[in-house]
Structure 1
Amino acid sequence: MATGSSEEVLAVDVQNLIESLNQADDGGAETAGNEAEDSMTENLPEEGSEVDLDVVELASTGEGLALYKGSKRVYIVPFAVPGDTVKAKIYRHLRDENYTVADFISVVTPSPERDDSRVQCKYFAACSGCQFQMLDYAHQLRLKKRIVEKAFRHFSQLPPELVPAIQDTIGSPLQYGYRTKLTPHFDGPPGGRRGNNKQPFGSRPPIGFMLKGKRSTLDIEDCPIGTDAVRLGMKRERARMAVEYGKYTRGATILLRESTKRVPKKTTTTAAEDNSSSLSQPPSERETAAKDSSPPPAAEEDDVVRVETDEYTDLKTCVTDNNGTSTEYVGPYVFHNPAGSFFQNNNSILPVFTDYIRQHILPPSPSSSSSPDITTTTTSPSPPPQIKYLIDAYSGSGLFTITLSSLFPGGSVGIDISDASITYASRNAASNSLLSSSPSPNSLSPDGGVRFLAADANALFTGPEVLGRYPPDETAVVLDPPRKGCDAGFLRQLLAFAPRRVVYVSCNVHTQARDVGVLVRGETAGSGLQEDDGAEEKGGDDAGGKKKEEKEKKKKKTRYAIESIRGFDFFPQTGHVEGVAVLNRVDE
């Protein structure tokens, strides 16, 4: 696993299916290469022809893996599940990759797991967004557990005995109406890519998402996985484009981001009155409210979704300005973010998710050490010191730093490379009355508060901001890197710092499995990660090189044991799954 791309994952799934078919025929390893060669030279259906395919397995990317007329060549067909026989149109034979890509046309014979009456979107099987709407939700969760299992089996490079049983996937409270952010788009006018076309649209262009397997946009009026506020925003933006399409000479992406205004019941006002109030709004929201004060109150009221609880009223609107500010509540915590920036897109599961991280960021109590899914790694007869400090790498706007802060009496620090994220993270800490009392915003001296630092994560654990200030035996680290995962330099520094406990959160369980394998082995060699020559000290002459070698031999090797692995379903109806791996340092 190098980049964590769907192509890498798909290639491994295809190869494993071919090998299993060969083993079923008692071909063994000797004939595996021959079978692959035969499938490259056999007479394949013509590209563009329609064929019936039997779906035998589901890829970790959400597509069906199918066979044609007893051939062992694998066909990739979307919107299909094991047990289906589907009619598909051959799109392209990828001879070097040893599989064929096909477009879904229709179901010939449905799988027992398929029930198309469950589908709630008329664009399903054309839009590239969802894959699983025909499946019962409990079955979706089982499939996602299997995706996590396959990720660690194929990409961690660990023997099975070092990987605990994958726990059941935690489902989303909402299976539809959960996405707080959608980004539909429209393509430029015809001919816009040839030369310098400045001609505007002659009519409203299709606005929506990509057709599966195509480079064209499917016009989508409504997306049922979006929240009510986001769906209202989509309707409003489509109406605007129906009038303003003539102003555009190129394509664009439309931001639809939910924002929440929470009003306690005892002071609940009308939506129009609330929108005019600026006391509890951040500056950017006050400015936006002032700019948008021209529409009549009735129009504003139409764009507000009211959600009532016993304690408060949530007034939900849709932000379309990338530079605007969105506000979300996660349990008792409030978070302000640049509307166009990253923040988890399923608010309904966030309280469950952050509570799970709270329960697992610290070691289990001695009374629970006998639990079968807990691996005890401390062999010292004396109890280990209390974990007092939290380091949140890739902290973004502070989701984990803030929601975990009360567990760490020594202090919590969030680090992110983005200055804008750190600015908002500090503001969020202040909004939740958690900001450190340190006079310097970049000071990391622990005082029990929350602070944030803009820094490159690859230069974090070896710098003076951490070394000497955070004792590794008393520090837990939470990681939530981008889809590509961590790089070799970061993992080497983490191993050198050797925090007592690590919780690794990831939106890509395949790169997560690779990185967790590095931490369990205690080395990056052989992981497939690109090495950064500048990340390690270089030995100049022979004498310097020998000194470095001797120093490396004396250095104690740090490695970790996996306590638990579990998936969270942030994106129901799709093949995506979020992974959480809990690791303990092995003390020997």
Structure 2
Amino acid sequence: MATGSSEEVLAIDIQNLIDSLNQADNDGGAETAENEADKPVAETLPEQGSEVDLDVVELASTGEGLALRKGSKRVYVVPFAVPGDTVKAKVYRHLRDENYTVADFVSVVTPSPSRDDTRVQCKYFATCSGCQFQMLDYAHQLQLKKRIVEKAFRHFSQLPPELVPAVQDTIGSPLQYGYRTKLTPHFDGPQGWRRTKQPFESCPPIGFMPKGKRNTLDIEDCPIGTDAVRMGMKRERARMAVEYGKYTRGATILLRESTKRIPKKTIEGDSSMPQPPAEGEGEATKDSPPPAEDEVIRVETDEYTDLKTCVTDNNGKSTEYVGPYVFHNPAGSFFQNNNSILPVFTDYIRQHILPPTSSSPSSSSPDAPTTSTSTPPPQIKYLIDAYSGSGLFTITLSSLFSGGSVGIDISDASITYASQNASSNAIPPSRATFIAADAADLFTPEVRARYAPDETAVVLDPPRKGCDAGFLKQLLDLAPRRVVYVSCNVHTQARDVGVLVRGEVAGSGLKEDAATTAEGVVEGEKEKKKTRYAIESIRGFDFFPQTGHVESVAVLNRVDE
């Protein structure tokens, strides 16, 4: 595992299926001397562009179906299909060296018992590449995502099974449609735009990419977007229908929901439209007019009224509420795109960032030694939030740590917004501070000096590529008592957790630089004992219903021997 790309993950799933098919043949005596003459000859593959019937036998961790033709062990990758389906597919490309074929979904010949196409809520499903699971019951989707997490740790952690606890059930999203607070439809440039530099002569298709193609599919609505985002999409399409002649190249359109929250007591008895979001809390700025009444989605609860607008300026500001906390962000920057699950998610992290009160630091670890000492472990007083972004975890966890919390991120802009968000939530610098630092030197000497390992917990939420070798080496050197690893890519998470459990980067497949692999100890410094961790729990979270994507939280304890 190098990058955690879909191609890497798919290749592993395909190879494991091929291995299991070959093993089944061997177990059945397919290679005995009696049937040597019956060994299959080289298979003649169907011509590209031809249609074939395929039986789907497994779901890849990338969301595609893995299928077989009758009488053949060659694997076909076909989207929008689930185990138990027989589908008609058009052969797209043979990858002879990789021993599989890519095919386009055409139709269902015989549906799986788990398939019900009446569940599909988007007319572009099975063409648009965004969703894979709309035909499935939601409980079944969660089961499939649990399997994805299980396979990730089985294939990529490089750990023996006894060191990986049973993966817990995936926690579902309160909303299965209408949940995405950010969408980015796009349009392609005019024909030959690099050469001609001529504007559009008519409005281009605006939407998303079809599965397996590079052109843009014109999509006027997306049911997984929130009402505010869908309203913004309609508005931007209407604008483009008038302004297309201003564009000489393609572009991406930002649609980001922003919320202004008004306590009920301030508008009781007033049925008129409340004031639109102020600067920094929505789309209105001193250089642009406030949104019209029909550009605001009003959501009522018992305690407050939410006014939701759609920001389309990448440099604008958006505001989101996560339980009692408020977060302001650059509209074009990263922030979790499913607000409905965020309170559940952050509450789960709060419940697991500290060890269980009835246990010692290592008592919940499967390979931790027992101890006869009655001396209680020191209290965890400090939090380090690595890859902190605009402060989601630093802020929502800060009240748990008496010694204070620090968020560390490579982006200066993220650190600026994180500090502002702490202030917006009335969290003083003594409880939450933020530092900009390069990933190669995330744990600065100041951080190491202040945060005693026995009294420190670390939460980390890296990008999809996971942690690099230098960061993992720093983390092992710091040796915090507890680590909560949050990931949007369970495959690179499994690889990195394997590093922490083994206590060494070597053998992980991660590229190590000279500083990481250097041996020896600085003169006068005692050699530190090897740090390693045990996995307490692993659990998936469904931030993206109807898709094959799952996020994961792994809780680890330092093993003290």
Question: Shorter-normalised TM-score: what interval?
Answer: over 0.9
State the match for 2:347 in structure 1: 355
State the match for 2:169 in structure 1: 168
Tell me which of 393, 397, 401 is aligned to 2:390: 397
Distance in 1 between residues matched to 2:141 and 2:362, nearest whole Å: 31
Give the CA deviation at 1:377: 3.7
Distance in 2 between residues matched to 1:326 and 1:498, nearest whole Å: 37
Deviations 1:262-304 (A, max 9, x none): 00001136776512x74xx53x858x433222x7xxx711010
Give the CA deviation at 1:22: 1.0
Distance in 2 between residues matched to 1:81 and 1:377, nearest whole Å: 41
Flag the 1:499–1:512 CA change in 2: closer, same or farther, 3 A: same
Flag the 1:495–1:136 CA change in 2: closer, same or farther, 3 A: same
RMSD: 2.4
State the match for 1:219 in structure 2: 218
Flag the 1:212–1:389 CA change in 2: closer, same or farther, 3 A: same
Which amino acid in structure 2 is aligned with residue 577 of structure 1? Answer: V
Distance in 2 between residues matched to 1:535 and 1:364, nearest whole Å: 33
Q: Give the 5 Å matches for 1:21-420.
A: 21-26=21-26, 41-193=42-194, 196-268=195-267, 273-275=274-276, 278=278, 281-282=279-280, 288-293=284-289, 300-366=292-358, 375=366, 377=368, 379-380=370-371, 381=373, 382-420=375-413
Flag the 1:370–1:9 CA change in 2: closer, same or farther, 3 A: closer
Deviations 1:427-473 (A, max 9, x none): 0000001131xxxxxxxxxx4x1010111132122x22211200000
Distance in 2 between residues matched to 1:582 and 1:8, nearest whole Å: 25
Distance in 2 between residues matched to 1:337 and 1:233, nearest whole Å: 18
State the match for 2:506 in structure 1: 525
Give the CA deviation at 1:69: 2.2
Flag the 1:368–1:415 CA change in 2: closer, same or farther, 3 A: closer
Give the CA deviation at 1:554: 3.5
Flag the 1:451–1:30 CA change in 2: closer, same or farther, 3 A: farther
Which amino acid in structure 2 is aligned with residue 424 of structure 1? Answer: Y
State the match for 2:457 in structure 1: 476
Give the CA deviation at 1:218: 0.5
Flag the 1:534–1:333 CA change in 2: closer, same or farther, 3 A: same
Distance in 2 between residues matched to 1:226 and 1:377, nearest whole Å: 46
TM-score under structure 2 normalisation?
A: 0.94
Structure 1 gaps of 5+ residues are 32-37, 437-446, 539-544
State the match for 1:486 in structure 2: 467
Q: Does 1:9 find its partner at 2:13?
A: no
Deviates more, 1:260-269 or 1:403-412: 260-269
TM-score under structure 1 normalisation?
A: 0.90
Which amino acid in structure 2 is aligned with residue 416 of structure 1? Answer: D
SS in 2 for 1:511: helix
Tell me which of 515, 521, 529 is aligned to 1:556: 529
Number of residue pairs matched by the alignment: 550
State the match for 1:442 in structure 2: none
Flag the 1:315–1:383 CA change in 2: closer, same or farther, 3 A: same
Flag the 1:320–1:550 CA change in 2: closer, same or farther, 3 A: same
Identity, % of aligned pairs?
81
Give the CA deviation at 1:97: 1.0
Distance in 1 between residues matched to 2:135 and 2:128, nearest whole Å: 14
Distance in 1 between residues matched to 2:241 and 2:337, nearest whole Å: 28
Distance in 2 between residues matched to 1:30 and 1:19, nearest whole Å: 14
SS in 2 for 1:384: coil
Flag the 1:489–1:271 CA change in 2: closer, same or farther, 3 A: farther
SS in 1 for 2:446: coil
Instruction: Check the 8 A contact 2:282/2:309 in 1, yes or no.
Output: no
Give the CA deviation at 1:375: 4.5
Flag the 1:48–1:365 CA change in 2: closer, same or farther, 3 A: same
Flag the 1:146–1:550 CA change in 2: closer, same or farther, 3 A: farther
Which amino acid in structure 2 is aligned with residue 493 of structure 1? Answer: Q
State the match for 2:35 in structure 1: none
SS in 2 for 1:23: helix
Instruction: Check the 8 A contact 2:469/2:510 in 1, yes or no.
Output: yes
Instruction: Check the 8 A contact 1:393/1:457 in 2, yes or no.
Output: no
SS in 2 for 1:392: strand
